[in-house]
Amino acid sequence: MLYIETPPECILCALESRMQEIKKFGIDDVNTYTQISMHISSLIPRGGRTPLFIESFELITKILNNDDPHANEKKELEDTASLIISRIINDAGNDISRYFEIAAAANSVDVPMRDYHFDINDFVNKLLEEAVWLNISRENLTKMLGSIKDVGYVVDNSGEFQVDMLLIRKLVDLGLRVTVYARGPAL
């Protein structure tokens, strides 16, 4: 049997994040906090971060009877992204690698996470900062894009998607066939 260990910091992050979500909605019933703690504990032996975060979030949506407890934050991101699209286009121009940098910065948003507090102004300011490239250079990325025909692009959250769409359009303009993948509702 293959066992994937769940790092302790992921367990703490999932637990703290789920507790913050319940607290945000004004739930102060100790049984609810116990239920979440027990559920997260039952997920740990399965190993890996994915079931830990997805299945504990699914429990939160059931407890709250709310399919999207982060709808307000997503709406704020979406509204902000709409306001700054022209700034992004002016900053990036026709530089495809710059679109990758900005999309990566936009996709760094995740609410809520342990020791991370989302701030919309900070998000906007950091979006256009110069990126640090790891394991690939701007030049190698451009060269790689010239040697492929198809790209799979995984989109995530509202607001971020508007920035992703700018990059996706640029990739299509380069003649690439882009298949967009989005997470659907849990079955």
What letter does residue 152 receive in the DSSP assignment?
Answer: E
> Strands 150-155 and 177-182: what pairing?
parallel
pLDDT of residue 163: 87
Give the pLDDT confidence score for residue 73 in this predicted structure. Answer: 79
More confident residue, 115 or 56: 56
Q: What pLDDT does 81 receive? A: 80
pLDDT digits (tens, 9 = 90+) for 15-55: 998 998 899 899 999 999 999 999 999 998 887 788 888 89
Can you give the pLDDT at residue 112?
59
Half-sphere exposure at residue 161, Cβ-oriented, CA atoms within 13 angstroms = 14
Please say if the pLDDT value at position 98 is more than 50. yes
Q: Convert the pLDDT of each residue in 144-179 to its tens digit.
A: 999 999 999 988 766 678 889 999 999 999 999 999
116 - beta bridge partners? 113
Distance, C-alpha 59 to centroid of its chain: 19
